[in-house]
Amino acid sequence: MKRVAIAAYGITPFSKDDKKIESILFESTKNLLENNPKIEKNEIDTVLVSTNNNSKYLSPILSESIGIQPKIAHSIENLCNSGTNSIVSAYSYIAAGLADIVLVSGAERYDSPGQILEWDNSRGEFKHPIFWASIFTSSYKRKFGISDEELAMVSVKNHSQAQNNPNAISKKTYSVEDVMNSKKITDDLKLLDCSQSCTGGASIILASENIIKKITDQPIWISGVGQKTISAGFTKNNSFNSMESTKIASQTALHMAHKEIHDIDVAEVHDAFSVCEPMALEAIGMANHGEGTKMVKELYETKNLMINPRGGLIGCGHPLGATGIAQTIEITQQLQSRARNRQVENPNTGLVHNMSAAATSSTILVLEK
Amino acid sequence: MKRVAIAAYGITPFSKDDKKIESILFESTKNLLENNPKIEKNEIDTVLVSTNNNSKYLSPILSESIGIQPKIAHSIENLCNSGTNSIVSAYSYIAAGLADIVLVSGAERYDSPGQILEWDNSRGEFKHPIFWASIFTSSYKRKFGISDEELAMVSVKNHSQAQNNPNAISKKTYSVEDVMNSKKITDDLKLLDCSQSCTGGASIILASENIIKKITDQPIWISGVGQKTISAGFTKNNSFNSMESTKIASQTALHMAHKEIHDIDVAEVHDAFSVCEPMALEAIGMANHGEGTKMVKELYETKNLMINPRGGLIGCGHPLGATGIAQTIEITQQLQSRARNRQVENPNTGLVHNMSAAATSSTILVLEK
């Protein structure tokens, strides 16, 4: 089996800009190619597009716009973890010997159709993710005796960390009081507890072991892959205060990478809402059940950037199809010691957690330098 | 590298029925599971959905509806060759060792948004596929001195062959005169020269070599895979009377399978319009350039079913995301000698040709028993 590594990346600022989906795909890919002059673009043999946008044939469109004629070309959608689904697909094409250099480009507009969960009739009219997030928050608080203020710390930390990320949508820091006093959305959620759907793109190139040296002297290896889908409807979850799909995906990925959770030096976790960060930390095994918010508080107070150094979804914004790719880029930069003022000290192993629709589906990637 | 085989299949009738996309996906999958009682559905570890439908999260929805919790789950779109893109993706997951049993389910509604090529501004307002097909037909006729009557034979043959396929949308045969007298759509195309967008679903299960014996004693191996994308806009084709992407994909797939074109005993080619069948036969090397219609006529006159035995897209109907899967099912049935009154005599090796948008992108699969 061929080993697979991340060879290059490009990204756009995350914003509320009204751009065409084709332009967003092009912009992050152009950024990638400009920053990696050793890549012969004609050697890119697969182009995968990750998006919830309704436009068709986006991979051939992106390919033509950058002037290449790949072998494999298509779009991939699985709501909010489309990005890591695409990366795992790219991994498979290379490991299977069908491709050597794969471009994965994720893009979304602020008005993505993936925001509205039309499919889940178990929610009745409550189709916006805010409703499952509210039920999760209520359940998590009740089960573990957690306060709104403790959960607000996730937003405080991630907005703070986002200030070191020039591409993040957040341009200021907030206090716990600011979060508590922000607009009340439901009984359990304030505006600053939520990530924002936004416009943004992120591109990554994966390559096989025999090609990678031509492109970069700092390859980041994908050593663990775990995925799990529990259901489509969030009311089929075993509980509203834990993430079963994330737990299973994490165990699978760590097992494949021959790692334990304490080997992870830096991680991106899918904080679509405040409550998701402690729940994810618990599901992947970094915190005991019910102690995720305690870990978040300690990290913030000790200025430890190891969880969501780029600011997470709450600080960066959440362009659905691009998010998993942007998370993977962050861990790649961290392991390459190129994360500038977001840099965690000398990390060797990192983890990406990307999920969809109330953690009904999760992906975990383990990355190593 | 693990070898990959087709282990099972299920299909729906192709029709103009007004069904929900989720129901179509469920229907062909149910047909598959009912016909293959040896499959433990909980062992299906990947579910890929092939469609142009705008609905999101269809793979988790299908998974939940059949009561399974897969690892990998997402939708794949590349217009009319979404189906074979999904099969190649499934192949990769198994060959790479990330999955053992993959369900690929394709579905489309008669009103698919994939019919309108919004993206190709090179066509001005001429966004329906009928316009590229008309230009191809005009160019092919002029270049090789082919008559409308000779092209009409494709429709005659494929409607005739469809009468042996209980799932085909066509329920009657036509003469050359019938085709010539059918409604004129453009200067070069009549109604019966066109495949119809329709409602239909097709599902297939791929499995790894070490699993396959538990499921079937007639595995059909995927021995060759070729894909090529030339452009997104059809005016970027080198010519309007040949299919460059098909030619390259065919060479790649045959090379991978260690086969020559004369080894192919039965083939499905993507006859979206009459002119596509001779052009495809020429591109894959079964006929000399300009002699595809001569081959079609000979096949029809000698009752040789080797090209599009199920009736092709013209006879069966063309539910975009399901077509490539339905084509692959046909070749699988042929190689298993289970094609009943469509059966080609004792075939050992078959080929699937599935393409998108004026052959700007093509897939070729070589299958063997």
Q: Given the DSSP bridges, would you call strands B349-356 and B266-268 parallel, antiparallel or unpaired?
A: parallel
Instruction: Check if B325 contacts A (Cβ < 8 Å).
Output: no
The class of domain A128-195+222-368 in CATH terms is alpha beta
Protein fold of A4-113+198-220: Peroxisomal Thiolase; Chain A, domain 1 (3.40.47)
Those residues whose C-beta lies under 8 Å from the C-beta of residue A156, and which sit 6 or more positions away, are A173, A174, A175, A176, A178, A179, A300
Read off the pLDDT band of B63 (50, 70, 90): very high
Judge whether A72 is closer than 8 Å to chain B, CB to CB. yes
Q: How many Cβ atoms sit within 10 Å of the Cβ of residue B58?
A: 27
Mode of pairing for the β-strands spanning A361-368 and A349-356: antiparallel
Contact across the interface for B56 and A69, Cβ inside 8 Å: no
- Give the Å distances, CA to CA, from A319 to A86, A291, B244: 15, 29, 36
What integer best gives the mean pLDDT of chain B? 95
Q: For residue A30, with 0-12 CB atoms within 10 Å meaning exposed, 13-18 middle and 19 or more buried, which class applies?
A: middle
pLDDT value at position B341?
96
pLDDT value of residue A235 = 78
Q: B128 pLDDT exceeds 90?
A: no
pLDDT score, position B100: 97
**Pairing, β A72-77 against β B72-77:** antiparallel
Given a contact cutoff of 8 angstroms between Cβ atoms, the answer to whether A266 and A342 are in contact is no
**Cα–Cα separations (whole angstroms), residue A105 to A59, A76, B53:** 9, 10, 21
Q: How far is B217 from chain A (nearest CA, A)?
A: 25
**C-alpha span between B326 and B318 (Å, rounded):** 10
Asked if domains B4-114+198-220 and B145-194+222-368 share a fold, the reply is: yes
**Residue A3 DSSP one-character state:** -
* DSSP β-bridge partners for residue B273: B194
Contact with chain A for residue B320, Cβ under 8 A? no
**Are A335 and A186 within 8 A, CB to CB?**
no
The β-bridge partners of B84 are: none
Bridge partners of residue B266, in order along the sequence: B350
For range B167-177, the mean pLDDT:
98
Tell me what pLDDT residue B349 has.
98
Interval B156-183 mean pLDDT: 98
Residue linked to tokens 């953690």: A359
Fold adopted by B4-114+198-220: Peroxisomal Thiolase; Chain A, domain 1 (3.40.47)
Chain A residues within an 8 Å CB radius of B71: 226-229, 249, 252
CB distance A11 to A108 below 8 Å: no
C-alpha B12/C-alpha B107 separation (Å) is 9
Locate the DSSP E strands across chain A.
4-11, 46-50, 72-77, 101-108, 200-208, 220-229, 266-268, 349-356, 361-368
Q: Please list every residue in chain B whose beta carbon sits closer than 8 Å to the beta carbon of residue A55.
A: 118-119
Cβ-based contacts of B222 with chain A (< 8 Å): none
Count the neighbouring beta carbons within 10 Å of the beta carbon of residue B42. 11
Q: How many CB atoms lie within 10 A of CB B345?
A: 10
Instruction: Report pLDDT for A237.
Output: 74
State pLDDT tens for residues A6-25: 999 999 999 999 999 999 99
Alpha helices in chain B (DSSP H): 21-35, 58-66, 82-95, 129-144, 148-162, 176-181, 209-215, 244-257, 276-283, 292-301, 312-316, 320-335
Task: Please check whether residue A354 touches B, CB under 8 A.
Answer: no
What is the average pLDDT across A24-48? 97
Cα separation, A330 vs A51, in Å, equals 19
Threshold 0.90, pTM exceeds? yes
Q: Looking at residue A126, what is its pLDDT? A: 63
Is A322 within 8 Å of chain B by CB? no
Q: Per the structure block, which two tokens stand in for A60? A: 């051939």
Confidence of residue B323 (pLDDT cuts 50, 70, 90): very high
In sequence order, which residues have a C-beta less than 8 Å from that of residue A322 and are 6 or more positions away?
A24, A28, A50, A51, A83, A106, A107, A108, A200, A201, A202
Residues of A whose CB is below 8 A from B252? 71
For residue A231, give the nearest of B60, B82, B230 by CB distance.
Answer: B60
Q: Do B92 and A89 touch (CB under 8 A)?
A: yes
Q: What local confidence, expressed as pLDDT, does residue A131 receive?
A: 87
Domain ranges of chain B: 4-114+198-220, 145-194+222-368
Return contacts of A119-122, CB within 8 angstroms, 24+ apart.
A119/A232, A119/B22, A119/B55, A119/B56, A119/B57, A119/B58, A119/B61, A120/A232, A120/A233, A120/A234, A120/A357, A121/A233, A122/A233, A122/A234, A122/A235, A122/A236
Q: What are B269's two structure tokens?
A: 């080619």
> Which residues in chain A touch residue B93, judged by CB atoms under 8 angstroms apart?
89, 92, 96
Residue A125 has pLDDT above 70, yes or no: no
Q: Rounded to whole angstroms, how far apart are CA atoms B75 and B78?
A: 10
> In this complex, do A56 and B229 lie within 8 Å of one another by their Cβ atoms?
no
Look at A85 and B74 and tell me if their CB atoms are within 8 Å. Answer: yes
223-252 of B, contacting A, C-beta below 8 A: 225-233, 236, 249, 252
Reply yes or no on whether the pLDDT at A121 is more than 60: no
A229: β partners: A361
pLDDT digits (tens, 9 = 90+) for B6-21: 999 999 999 999 999 9
The answer to whether A357 and B57 have CB atoms below 8 angstroms apart is: yes
Report how far apart, in Å, the C-alpha atoms of B2 and of each of A210, A311, B245, B363 are: 20, 41, 27, 21
Q: What is the CATH number of domain B145-194+222-368?
A: 3.40.47.10
DSSP letter at B34? H
The three-state DSSP-derived secondary structure of A133-193 is HHHHHHHHHHHHCCCHHHHHHHHHHHHHHHCCCCCCCCCCCCCHHHHHHCCECCCCCEHHH
B124 has a pLDDT exceeding 70: no
A120 pLDDT band (50/70/90 cuts)?
low
Task: Find the closest chain B residue to A77 by CA distance.
Answer: B75
* Residues on chain A touching B108 (C-beta within 8 angstroms): none
Q: Please tell me whether residue A329 adopts helix, strand or coil conformation.
A: helix
- DSSP 8-state symbol, A353: E
ipTM, interface predicted TM-score of the complex: 0.97
Q: Do A60 and B95 touch (CB under 8 A)?
A: no
Mean pLDDT score of chain A, rounded to an integer?
95
Task: Report whether A67 contacts A163 (CB < 8 A).
Answer: no
Q: Residue B228: list chain A partners with CB under 8 A.
A: 69-71
| Residue indicated by tokens 């689904």 | A85
Give the per-residue pLDDT at A122. Answer: 55
So what's the pLDDT on residue B1?
A: 67
* Residue B119 touches chain A, beta carbons under 8 Å: yes
pLDDT of residue B33: 98
E strands in A230-348: 266-268
Cross-chain Cβ contact B92/A92 below 8 Å: yes
pLDDT tens profile A87-117: 999 999 999 999 999 999 999 999 999 987 7
CB pairs < 8 Å spanning A and B: 182
In this predicted model, what pLDDT tens digit does every residue of A260-306 receive, in sequence order? 999 999 999 999 999 999 999 999 999 999 999 999 999 999 999 99
pLDDT recorded at residue B312? 98
The pLDDT, as a whole number, for residue A320 is 97
The three-class DSSP label of residue A202 is strand
CB B53 within 8 A of CB B112: yes
What confidence tier does B245 reach under pLDDT thresholds 50, 70, 90? very high
